[in-house]
Amino acid sequence: MPETITITDDRTGKQVTVPITNGVFPASAVRELDPSLFIYDPAYMQTAACRSSITYLDGDNGILRYRGYPIEQLAEKSTFLEVAYLLLNGDLPNAEQLKQWTLDVTHHTFVHENMRKRFLDGFHYDAHPMGMFVSSMAALGTFYPEAKNVLDKGSRDQQILRLIAKTPTIAAMCHRFSVGLPFVYPDNDISFPANFLNMMWKIGDYEVDPRLERAMDVLFILHADHEQNCGTTSMRVVGSSQADPYSAAAAAASALYGPLHGGANEAVVRMLADIGSIENVPAFIEDVKSGKAGSRLMGFGHRVYKNYDPRARIIKEVAYGVFEVTGKNPLLDIALKLEEAALNDDYFKSRKLYPNVDFYSGLIYQAMGFPAEMFTVLFAIPRTVGWLAHWQEMLTDKEQKISRPRQWYTGVDERDYVPLGSR
């Protein structure tokens, strides 16, 4: 059977046949038929916006691979910095490459003192840490005017290194500011996840628990990239105008902030707290099904996964390991009851709604002591790697240019100006 598609313009009888490759066919077929024709596709639900070799998703079978490696294997055997190298460079590093990469990241973790004194200190005392993080991404770029040379690989690599290394520092600074604690400087003698936990929690003789250090590393791996999600699409669109990567990352972080996207982990924990007990789960499920205002099952459903999100399965296992250290999060029982009820209810089954990455992650973060306002910041730290991998792929893709879609105009036709007195 030919892997092609033929489109016929019935107005002219003109036909175009184009190949279908990996489930995709080029929209240039439409341009060939009639350049004045546009495909209407709200929210890009049926659109492949780019070619990419970074991450592969199979939504029906719940498959996620970074550069071909199954997420399950990376979560079990790799580290976040190794996965960051993989996503950015296309293959796992050898021992020498990993050593150099780790050294490079470790020695870029400090931020300019004015980021603290002149910028972060300017926020209101109760500013939301994610709002501070989003702003800090763009502010960070003002220290590196050379970052505008986005077509220069050397400059791109330098900014990539800075952003990956500095996001944990900025994230921890946002938290420490929010709780009125002095900042903790990066410690270059400990691992990437340990350094982040140390900057978050160090007071006095704080020691990072290696089990929480490993859990943090796995959570960073699981959140590092996810193909053309809303935040990464924002990174690509803003980056396509050749804006600097800090401004593009601020746009991506802004998209992630939304409750339908990365803000869902915070929304899940608030939803579970509002439900309050497993006895209230059936009534809540009914509210969701009836579409009662504000009753959405946060942490469930996904544009791509119509099966269990493979990350949710792994996170659930990580949760039990963390709870051995921190004690079980009392909201876990409500979450498990909610998952069981939803997975056996036709409303959710018929819509192929399963737990996604955000359903259990918040329970772990809360058990580790992170305030709910920090959950999306915890998502943004590792996702910065994915944003940057896609940013550099977009800039080096000869088929890409500034993103500028068209529209289906449904407004009024031409009309003459009406003087104020006649309206």
**Active site (catalytic) residues:** 261, 302, 358
Pick the closest to residue 355 from 367, 343, 337, 372 (CA basis).
Answer: 343
Cβ at position 147, least distance to ligand SDX in Å? 24
Of residues 368, 338, 362, 355, the one with CA closest to residue 276: 338
Give the three-state DSSP class for 21.
strand
In the complex, the smallest distance separating the C-beta of residue 179 from ligand SDX, rounded to whole angstroms, is 26
Q: How many residues make contact with ligand SDX (CB under 6 A)? A: 21
Q: Is 75 in the site for ligand SDX (CB under 6 A)?
A: no
Residue 10 Cα distances to 26, 36, 76, 351, angstroms: 20, 15, 55, 35
Between residue 199 and residue 228, which ones bind ligand SDX under the rule CB under 6 A?
A: 226
Binding mask 262-301 for ligand SDX (x = CB under 6 A): x-x-----------------------x-------xxxxxx
Q: Which residue has the tokens 């791509």?
A: 304
CB of 229 to ligand SDX, least distance (A): 3
User: Among residues 298 and 335, whose Cβ is nearest to ligand SDX?
Assistant: 298
Using CB under 6 A, which of 128, 302, 316, 337 touches ligand SDX?
302
Distances (CA, A) of 384 to 33, 120, 408: 40, 20, 33
Nearest residue to ligand SDX on Cβ basis: 301
Comparing CA positions, the residue from 69, 39, 332 lying closest to residue 225 is 69
- Minimum CB distance to ligand SDX smaller for 111 or for 264: 264
Nearer to ligand SDX, 162 or 302 (CB): 302
Place of tokens 């990066």: 186
Instruction: Report DSSP letters for 38-70, one per residue.
Output: ----GGGTT------SSEEEETTTTEEEETTEE
The dihedral through the CA atoms of 38, 42, 47, 48 has a sign that is positive
Distance of CA 148 to the CA centre of its chain: 24
**C-beta of 111 vs 171, nearer to ligand SDX:** 171
**Burial (CB count <10 Å: 0-12, 13-18, 19+), residue 341:** middle
351 lies in the site for ligand SDX, by CB under 6 A: yes
* Segment interacting with ligand SDX, rule: CB under 6 A, options 3-11, 202-210, 316-324, 350-358: 350-358
Q: In terms of CB distance, is 190 or 230 closer to ligand SDX?
A: 230
Stretch near ligand SDX under the rule CB under 6 A, chosen from 14-22, 81-89, 317-325, 356-364: 356-364
Considering only residues 149 through 208, tell me which ones interact with ligand SDX, judged by CB under 6 A: none
Residue keyed to tokens 């460079």 = 89
Site for ligand SDX in 223-242 (CB under 6 A): 226, 229
Choices 152-160, 212-220, 241-249, 261-269 (CB under 6 A): range interacting with ligand SDX: 261-269
Q: Which is nearer to ligand SDX, 30 or 318 (CB)?
A: 318
We find the least distance from the C-beta atom of residue 160 to ligand SDX, in angstroms, to be 19
Q: What DSSP string runs through 291-350? A: T-TT---TTB--SS-SS--HHHHHHHHHHHHHHHHH---THHHHHHHHHHHHHT-HHHHH
Residues in contact with ligand SDX by the rule CB under 6 A:
226, 229, 260-262, 264, 288, 296-304, 351, 353, 356-358
